[in-house]
Amino acid sequence: MPKDKKPSAAYSAEQITVLEGLEPVRKRPGMYIGSTGETGLHHLVWEVVDNAIDEAMAGFANLVQVWIRPDGKVSVRDNGRGIPVDKHKVTKKSALETVLTKLHAGGKFEGQAYKVSGGLHGVGVSVVNALSTHLRAEVRRDGQIYSQEYKTGKPTGAVKKLGRIPPKDSFQQGTEITFFPDASVFETTEFKLKTILEHLRQQAYLTAGTQVQVTDERVGLTFSYYFEGGIVSYIKQLNRHKVVKHEPMYVNKSVESMQVEVAVQYTDDYAETLLSFANNIYTPEGGMHVTGFRTALTRSINKYAAKNGYTKEAEKLTSDDMREGLSAIISVKLPNPQFEGQTKGKLGNPEVRTAVESVLGEALETFLEEHPKDTARILEKVILASKARLAAKAARESVIRKGVLEGLALPGKLADCSESDPSKCELYIVEGDSAGGSAKQGRDRRFQAILPLRGKILNVERARLDKMLANNEIKNLIIALGCGIGEQFDIGKLRYHRVIIMTDADVDGAHIRTLLLTFFYRHFPDIIKSGFLYIAQPPLYKLSSGGRTQYVYSDAEKDKLMQEWQKAGPKPKGKSRKSGKTKVVEEGELITVIEESAIGSASEEPAAGREPEAGVKGINIQRYKGLGEMNPGQLWETTMDPKSRQMLRVEVSDFELVNDVFETLMGDEVAPRKKFIHTHARTVKNLDI
């Protein structure tokens, strides 16, 4: 256990600055937490945890604890200085109440209490208070215990002084916030342990020497994270299944008021893994710190390569050459981060670029000179990537030239739609010519295009771009999408704003779906980020009985319907329902789809025309394993008609986890994949043997 730290800097009501009131939060919660769904719910936890992490980054705490309570509450505690409780000179109320009831009230504006901060600049904890039916704050400082309670953001009374802290109490100093999310605001109030663990493990990596504990009292489990190595430990974790070229290169240096921390390691992989953070906040869209990183990396390696005869002056390596097999973590801490957008996806401070470029450039030059063997392996990788880039460029130009000659870059197998507005167009990527034929006949030609694929496409996780472009099926798909690939990619030229993967409900179909997901994730991530990639959900069964017919999409739905029909008797009541669903389900996570596809798909159920199951009289069950088993009318009715179909929209909620799963399941290493399948095989609900 880390030792308690004593406060060594002034932190009182003088450091609390008030900018505006709290009323807008309950009216428009999405403006403050992103959404009122599961993401927004967990954002409440992040905001309270951010305040605790801020204390750790400032050097006043080294322990952050989180409890998920059985009654739906969450408690977050740190052993920092404790929120001040003395009276604020502007609000004439305690600083604690000011922080919890006023937007933009906190110790992070004037730079006195916090030099750097990851919280929403004083917004966070007050927003959590406004969106909770009940919140309790307990502060321990100066040997005393203080508390205050709130309902929907309003205090139920003044700050109470509960007495002195018992000498043997392990909680001697700091703040504990307990809140109960408002069910009238959120679509769900059930916290996911896995989501919380992933986020807090990342925070522990980024705050070296801080212990982070998570206790889920619902299941009686406690998890503890403590990484003395910080982001060096993090990068080793990311590369644990890869063949690495060298030990991580690490630099941690302060420039003026900014701290720059970078870890770099090259592997045998083809893909790049780059994670960037500003004040412990993940910046998926990068920003100035990433720009500075790339400039320093490209310049330093080029300088060394030319100086030592690896390349000629005219053969300069590009930034893209440096990316192949690169794993890097960039973490900057600065007083006034300028994030673009409410989600803080991109860092805009121009001074950060200069700081990162300077710090990393100096560190890289030293590393390259002092580790000649490691440097030789890195340069071998980078130069090979350069040759592959030139080959890929030639192949890409060949694809484009061929497409133009064949008529506006459209492959012959593509049955295009007549609509020209991409926002209204859909592209169905269909497995096999048989299913493609049914889809072409059953579609709405105005806005639905069909591209049949023959067999299984290349596994792009194990192939460079030049080899990938030699594959006819992939080439046709790239031409059909119309937005280019690699450095020529332009999301604005995408011809369809719904790209729908439609494969059979068997093992081969699952494999093809996984290969396509790998293709989009590695080479068209912006299509996924924009919400344009979907997975069609054809029905698994057609149930018929006494004139009734209904399609169902899962085993659970089938069992429930059979029970209903048995109770209703042999004669149908009312009109037959053609489809079990009447709306498009446009949500899903890439990680779930990949895991399910990797282990198996479709259940071991009756084939078409099989006699009814034992104990179920008068009900005929037809199992659809292939799309080609349905005639065009059935395929339209069940899978392609916007009024009745189901679709999953592919989303990426955790880059690190998704990246790890792709490497495990689609990479060259057999052992991790075998271990994964053995571990999860017994938990698969749908397995086609």
Q: Which of 55, 78, 176, 431 is catalytic?
A: 431
- The whole-angstrom separation of Cα 204 and Cα 293 is 23
Task: At 429, list the tokens.
Answer: 């990527």
DSSP conformation letters of 547-613: TEEEEESSHHHHHHHHHHHHHH-SS--SSPPSBS--S------HHHHHHHHHH--S-S-PPTTPPPP
115 φ/ψ angles, rounded to the nearest 5 degrees: -75, -40
Q: How far is CA 200 from CA 14, 122, 171, 279, in A?
A: 31, 20, 21, 14
**Pairing outcome for strands 132-141 and 448-453:** unpaired
The per-type count for the chain, helices as H runs and strands as E runs, is 21, 24
Angle of the 288-307 helix axis to the 350-370 helix axis, nearest 10 = 30
Determine the distance from the C-alpha atom of residue 578 to the mean position of all C-alpha atoms in its chain, rounded to a whole number: 36
Beta bridge partners of 150: 135, 155
Q: Which of 444, 508, 555, 656 is catalytic?
A: 508
Active-site residue, 4 included: no
- The whole-angstrom separation of Cα 5 and Cα 58 is 11
Q: Which of 14, 433, 466, 506 is catalytic?
A: 506
Query: What HEC string does 483-501 produce?
Result: CCCHHHCCHHHCCCCEEEE
Return the closest-CA partner of residue 176 out of 106, 50, 79, 42: 79
Active-site residue, 504 included: yes
Active-site residue, 656 included: no
- Indicate if the alpha-carbon torsion angle 298, 304, 306, 309 is positive or negative: negative
- The whole-angstrom separation of Cα 159 and Cα 607 is 68
Report which DSSP code applies to 3.
P
Kindly report each contact of residues 470-473 with a partner whose C-beta sits within 8 Å and lies 24 or more positions away, as own/partner: 470/395
**Residue whose structure tokens are 């990797």:** 598
Return the closest-CA partner of residue 363 out of 287, 263, 280, 275: 263
Active-site residue, 86 included: no
- The whole-angstrom separation of Cα 246 and Cα 266 is 7
- The whole-angstrom separation of Cα 323 and Cα 297 is 10
75 φ/ψ angles, rounded to the nearest 5 degrees: -120, 140
**Would you call 149 exposed, middle or buried from its count of C-beta atoms within 10 A (0-12, 13-18, 19+)?**
middle
Q: How far is CA 233 from CA 94, 208, 230, 329, 657, in A?
A: 41, 9, 5, 11, 16
Whether the Cβ atoms of residue 199 and residue 118 lie closer than 8 Å to each other: no
259 φ/ψ angles, rounded to the nearest 5 degrees: -115, 130
Task: At 420, list the tokens.
Answer: 């020209």
Q: Which of 47, 97, 216, 504 is catalytic?
A: 504
**Residue whose structure tokens are 């069940």:** 638
Report the SS3 class of residue 108.
Answer: coil
Q: Mind telling me the catalytic residues?
A: 431, 504, 506, 508
